[in-house]
């Protein structure tokens, strides 16, 4: 087992360092690349929703590739099924034949669409399970062919290789983690972006953006008490609280300028923004957990200054889930 006692060095994570910016050039690059990505997405969202959908799908596929590259080092990852399911869901969403928004169209429960939603989940489970069965059969069959058949029967071979079955059970779980962590959230982005010309998606973006900014700077200036330090030693309780306050502020600013408060219940909106601000940071922690499991500093280096797609969208993914659950059920 590798020594991880010095794993804190991965992120230079000493809270006592009060420098707001350790690497000014990287910080500027981070701002420029992040702002450019935001402007591109905003332009597509406002002026051509169809191209925005393509943009989201591209980001989604890159994110899947990043995670598959990482997890395949330790587990069997069904790349074909993951890419197929992502495109399958995105196409159905785009053509409105399977649309979570219409499951609760006009905020009234639509049982037919909901049943179709459930059967789509069963279909996804079947794809994974059947493919895993075929792959496991072929893997063990090839291993058995290399043995002297007189030494072991098939039953004895199976009993002596239970570790392979355990490996595939764990791998199946990993594939479902990737499905729910990468595939489905970006599909939800497409759903939400078609509501009110993107105003509701921008509510999530503003809440998440202000949460990140406030958490970073307040944590740097005032942070003393560690918060989930065994997962991300740089996190502080002060930064977390500052992020919650900042997220609420950002959400309310967008609510005011987009006039959402005129058409939606203000109290429910405040609760929604509060819950997104409170729980979104756990998306960042979940990404840190994955990176530490593989001793990585960043998922990849595709976005200058940020790292990978999931380094940039980690907390945003949790925000999307929280928004979807609260909004579609209670608004």
**Could you give the 3-state DSSP secondary structure of residue 226?**
strand
- Evaluate whether residue 59 is within a structural domain: no
For residue 307, is it left (φ>0), alpha (ψ between -120 and 50) or beta? left
Distance CA 222, CA 239 (A): 8
Q: Tell me what pLDDT residue 19 has.
A: 62
Q: Is residue 276 part of a domain?
A: yes
Q: Poorest-confidence range of 2-11, 59-68, 117-126?
A: 2-11
> 137 is in which domain, residue-wise?
67-194
* pLDDT score recorded for residue 6: 46
Model confidence pLDDT, tens digit, residues 147-156: 765 656 777 7
Instruction: Please give the Cα distance from 245 to 233 (Å, whole number).
Output: 21
Last residue of a domain, one of 134, 169, 194: 194
Domain count, the chain: 2
Residues 129 and 222 in one domain: no
What pLDDT is recorded for position 117?
A: 63
Residue 10: inside a domain, yes or no?
no
Is 54 contained in some domain?
no
Res. 21: pLDDT tops 70: no
Helix ranges restricted to H, 194-232 = 199-222
Phi and psi of 237, rounded to 5°? -65, -40
* 209, 181 Cβ separation under 8 angstroms: no
Under DSSP, the state recorded for 182 is I
Q: Which of 143, 169, 194 is the last residue in one of the domains?
A: 194
Q: pLDDT at position 149, please?
A: 59
Same domain, residue pair 204 and 224: yes
Q: Which of 119-123, 202-206, 312-316 has the lowest mean pLDDT?
A: 119-123
The per-residue pLDDT for range 264-295, each reduced to its tens digit, is 888 889 999 999 999 988 988 888 888 888 88
Q: Are 84 and 127 in contact (CB under 8 A)?
A: yes
Instruction: Work out the widest C-alpha separation in the chain, in whole angstroms.
Output: 78
Residue 208 contacts residue 276 (beta carbons within 8 Å): yes
Could you report the per-residue pLDDT of 133-146, keeping only the tens digit for each? 887 788 778 877 77
Average pLDDT over the chain reads 80
Q: What is the DSSP letter of 307?
A: B
In a domain, 171, yes or no: yes
User: pLDDT band at residue 256, thresholds of 50, 70 and 90?
Assistant: very high
Is the four-CA dihedral 238, 242, 243, 245 of positive or negative sign? positive
The answer on 200 and 158 residing in a single domain is no
Residue 18, classed as helix, strand or coil, is coil
pLDDT score, position 104? 43
The dihedral built from the CA positions of residue 94, 97, 100 and 102, taken in this order, carries a sign that is positive
pLDDT of residue 247: 93
1 falls within a domain:
no
pLDDT in tens, 59-102: 999 999 999 999 988 888 888 888 988 988 888 888 764 444 44
Which pLDDT score, from 0 to 100, does residue 254 have? 93
What is the average pLDDT across 203-208? 93
Same-domain status, 303 and 327: yes
Is 8 domain-assigned? no
Q: How high is the pLDDT of residue 27?
A: 66
48: left (phi over 0), alpha (psi -120 to 50) or beta: beta
Helix (H, G, I), strand (E, B) or coil at 315: helix
Residues 215 and 181 in one domain: no
First to last CA, the chain: 50
Over pLDDT 90: what percentage of the chain? Answer: 21
Instruction: Please give the residue that has the higher pLDDT: either 162 or 275.
Output: 275
Strands (DSSP E) contained in 58-133 are: none
Q: Tell me, yes or no, whether 28 and 71 share the same domain.
A: no
Q: Same domain for 27 and 92?
A: no
Q: What is the mean pLDDT of residues 2-30?
A: 55
Q: What is the pLDDT of residue 150?
A: 60
Shared-domain flag, residues 145 and 215: no
Residues 284 and 323 in one domain: yes
Sole residue written with tokens 């989930």:
228
User: Which one of 176, 194, 212 terminates a domain?
Assistant: 194
Residues 280, 316, 175, CA angle at the centre, nearest 5°?
A: 95
Contacts of 3 (CB under 8 A, 6+ apart): none
**Domain contains 321:** yes
**Per-residue pLDDT at 262:** 86
Q: Tell me: do 137 and 208 sit in the same domain.
A: no
Contact indicator for 238, 219 with CB cutoff of 8 Å: yes
- Average pLDDT on 191-216 reads 89
pTM of the model: 0.80
Is 42 in the same domain as 124? Answer: no
Q: Verify that 309 and 225 share a domain, yes or no.
A: yes
The helix/strand/coil state of 236 is strand
């Amino acid at each position: 087992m590798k020594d991880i006692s010095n794993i804190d060095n991965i992120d230079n994570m000493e809270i006592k360092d009060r420098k707001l910016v350790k690497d000014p050039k990287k910080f500027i690059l981070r701002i420029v690349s992040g702002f450019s990505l935001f402007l591109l997405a905003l332009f597509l969202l406002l002026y051509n929703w169809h191209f925005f959908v393509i943009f989201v799908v591209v980001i989604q596929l890159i994110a899947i590739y990043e995670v598959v590259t990482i997890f395949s080092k330790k587990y069997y990852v069904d790349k074909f099924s993951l890419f197929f399911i992502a495109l399958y869901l995105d196409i159905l969403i785009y053509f409105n034949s399977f649309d979570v928004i219409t499951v609760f169209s006009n905020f009234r429960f639509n049982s037919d669409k909901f049943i179709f939603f459930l059967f789509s989940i069963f279909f996804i489970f079947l794809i994974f399970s059947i493919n895993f069965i075929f792959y496991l059969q072929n893997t063990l069959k090839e291993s058995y062919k290399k043995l002297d058949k007189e030494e072991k029967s098939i039953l004895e071979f199976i009993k002596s290789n239970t570790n392979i079955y355990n490996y595939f059970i764990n791998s199946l779980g990993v594939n479902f983690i990737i499905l729910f962590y990468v595939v489905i959230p970006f599909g939800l982005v497409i759903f939400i972006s078609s509501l009110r010309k993107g105003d509701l998606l921008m509510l999530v973006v503003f809440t998440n953006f202000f949460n990140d900014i406030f958490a970073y700077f307040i944590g740097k200036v005032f942070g003393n008490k560690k918060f989930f330090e065994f997962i991300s030693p740089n996190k502080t309780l002060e930064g977390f609280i500052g992020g919650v306050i900042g997220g609420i502020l950002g959400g309310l600013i967008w609510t005011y300028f987009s006039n959402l408060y005129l058409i939606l219940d203000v109290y429910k909106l405040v609760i929604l923004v509060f819950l997104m601000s409170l729980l979104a940071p756990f998306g960042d922690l979940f990404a840190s957990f994955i990176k530490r499991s593989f001793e990585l500093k960043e998922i990849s280096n595709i976005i200058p200054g940020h790292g990978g797609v999931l380094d940039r969208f980690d907390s945003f993914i949790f925000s999307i889930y929280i928004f979807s659950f609260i909004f579609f059920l209670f608004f």
